[in-house]
Chains A and B, each alone.
Chain A
Amino acid sequence: MNVHAPPKATAERSHDTKLRVADCDIHPLPNTVKDLYPFLEKRWRDHLESFGARRRQAIYQGPAYPKGQPEAARRDAWPPGGRPGSSLDLMRRQHLDANNVELGILTVINPHPGNYQNPDQSVAMCRAVNDWQVAEWTGKDTRLRASILAAYEHGDAAVAEIERLADDPNFVQVFLLSRTAQPLGNRCYWPIYEAASQADLPVGVHAFGNSGFPITSSGWPSYYIEEMAGHAQTCQSQVTSLVLEGVFERFPKLRVVFIESGFGWLPSLTWRLDTHWKKLKAENPALKRLPSEYIRDHIWVTTQPIEEPERPRHLLDVFDWIGWDRVLYSSDYPHWDFDDPARCLPAGVTQEQRDKLFLTNALSLYGQK
């Protein structure tokens, strides 16, 4: 059973490559929720023991759609006695060192308490996860940077947490899950954008979460594969909302990164928005520019899970259309659909494009605090 597959020896995944890598989607996770207890008041430790955490789904623990692998993890990413993503030592050997990662952006999605129903618990747990990231990860490895988990359904509390950490060099973005309770352009989220803009932090939007709404406009699909594919549609709806609600007109410094939802969809969506906005623009006069212009200036995407066209070179067209300066490499370590930096791009990418995608775009976006 792959759960018990032992990690291989150190040298196993090293590549003979000078590729310098910034990885914009690395998933550390606590081995158990008790790892967070040092960062939680007694009240919230007791609360977790009694009630757990309420999200907008029926299953008490874990996801409603059983994933393709235990913990959705690579078979070789289980440290002895622990869960995948819980061991800095293994992460270093298996990924950071082996793949020459010099900047790794941590994206804690399990748990992401910004998604919890209880507003006070959401706030306390986000704070705990943030402090845990510094104590266990960024404080121990200088290559790593953390993302600020915010109680994003509770605007004022989210702002307070962003402001608490805005000047902390361990943190380089505000971080939420894509399945929000309302479309992201909705005004209830504007305080978050204001705080992020003031702190000069990008807002990362990672696949998953529980909006309470099905992932299709026709209700709940049957399979995990449908939910996984559906994250790309979710992010299309989020880009649409951000653009058409006028968020980028209101917050001209705002930068939004869509993480782990693919990116091939972005050109077609951009063209569709332009095509139909030209006819419908009377509906929201707050928009002053073409949707494509807002997208070009304000939206970034990460690569994993990278699309795999039948003819690999077709992917180069997509990068051309999006702009090579807007695409960030991500591995999704330690998850099953990890993209290997040495193998994920098709042939035909120039050195300059490669440098941008693997390194310099991320350095520009996240700064070099």
Chain B
Amino acid sequence: MKPPRIGAIDCDIHPALPGLANLLPYMSDHWREMAQQAGFHELETVNYPPGSPIAAREDWRPVQGKPGSTLDDVRSQALDPWETSLAVCNCLYGVQALFSEDMAAGIARALNHWMAREWLDREPRLRASIIIPVQSPELAVDEIEFWASDQRFVQVLMLVTADAPLGKRQYWPIYAAAARHGLPVGIHAGSSFRYPMTPVGWTSYYAEDYVNQSQAFQTQLTSLICEGVFSKYPDLRVVLLESGFTWLPAHLWHLSKFWRGLRMEVPWVDRPPFEIVRDQVRLTLQPIDAPSRRETLERLLEHMGSDKLLLFSSDYPHWQFDGEDVLPDGLSDALVRKILIDNPRETYPRMMEKVQ
């Protein structure tokens, strides 16, 4: 169904970098020279092959250029239709896939500058996530510190796969910095392909990899919980972006059963996993991996046991729904308001700040 025009907060849109050339003005001399001399001119990843149906809805594809790469398109296609009051830009580019920590840091810094100058400065409804060179937690923390004072950056962005499970201690400095600055950590679908998307090797089809993103979210949630990240950083909020959410209850039932039998292994997990998730984890709405039957969704929402978990997202320009029906049928007015406004505000403290 269409959302009511009450100033929805869209927690996952994807403005696109038209091309690497657009970053040149924001690069250090070294990386500008490298880009020109070495001739790398694009860092798109295979997570969203540009021509693939999920990468962009057909009616959102421009005649030329990448979908979502101009402010006009983002305004007319993502912000205006639902009278969105605020939208979080999660720029998906190849930063996390690079093997050089320095290069990842160089491109991330340029990308954040580009986001600040070309999007946030020009459109007051936009907020953004800080892209970090996750390959080096030390450089990642530098990047967070560099942007933390800019209240328009409301989140730190990671991908759902990395060099190691995200609960591992090597990543804790990132969580400490995020929690210190009131920035949730957003974990978005997408792989850097250090490992195959399945525990049994490389897949044959793109569809397999896309479907397997949800399994990656499940294992990362397991890792973050079991390694004790949420116990160590009680102020940390984690937002799962483009994760799907219908897997959540069954996954936590399964994990909780093992936790009851094996908690001596992870004594710092001092509460049932579902409680931890209700306090510290949120998930965006799209894609809705459920049948369109109203009753099924009602059952699922009851299984989730909280009306605070879901955050409104359109996932623009990815093709997750048709027309203006960004919300599923069968949600109560009260729940719609929570998903569209209250839950995002509660999750992102910086949304409440007045931005000059």
Contact = CB atoms under 8 A, between A and B. Distances in A.
Given A262-B254, A271-B291, A307-B250, A217 B211 contact: no
A181 interface: yes
B214 interface: yes
A244 B207 contact: yes
A283 B205 CA distance: 7
B155 interface: no
B183 to A, nearest CB: 21
B232 interface: no
Given A68-B265, A314-B303, A232 B289 contact: no
B141 interface: no
A: interface residue count bin: 35 or more
B198 A224 contact: no
A282 B52 CA distance: 10
A337 interface: yes
Interface string A245-268: 100000000000000001011011
Interface in B199-241: 199-208, 210-212, 214-216, 218-220, 222-223, 226-227
A229 B196 contact: no
B25 interface: no
Nearest to A264: B250
B266 interface: yes
A302 interface: no
Nearest to B216: A217
B162 interface: yes
A223 B207 CA distance: 30
Interface stretch (B8-16, B64-72, B115-123, B163-171): B163-171
B196 to A, nearest CB: 6
B305 interface: yes
A18 interface: no
B191 interface: yes
A226 B226 contact: yes
Interface residues of B, number: 73
B203 to A, nearest CB: 6
Given A229-B254, A264-B253, A314-B303, A336 B261 contact: yes
A241 interface: yes
A240 B208 contact: yes
A90 to B, nearest CB: 22
Contacts of A311: 305
Among B200, B219, B223, B261, chain A packs the most CB atoms within 10 A around the CB of B200
Contact of A217 (B198, B207, B264): B198
B290 A186 contact: no
A147 interface: no
B172 to A, nearest CB: 13
B199 A179 contact: yes
A62 B203 CA distance: 29
A309 B288 CA distance: 22
Interface of A: 68, 178-186, 211-226, 228-230, 232-234, 236-238, 240-241, 244-245, 262, 264-265, 267-269, 271-277, 279-280, 282-284, 305-311, 314, 317-318, 321, 336-337
5 contacts: A211-B200, A225-B259, A234-B198, A241-B208, A308-B257
Given A217-B198, A221-B219, A307-B254, 19 more contacts: A181-B201, A182-B201, A183-B202, A213-B195, A213-B199, A219-B164, A222-B227, A223-B266, A225-B259, A226-B222, A228-B258, A234-B198, A234-B199, A267-B250, A269-B211, A276-B54, A280-B205, A305-B258, A317-B303
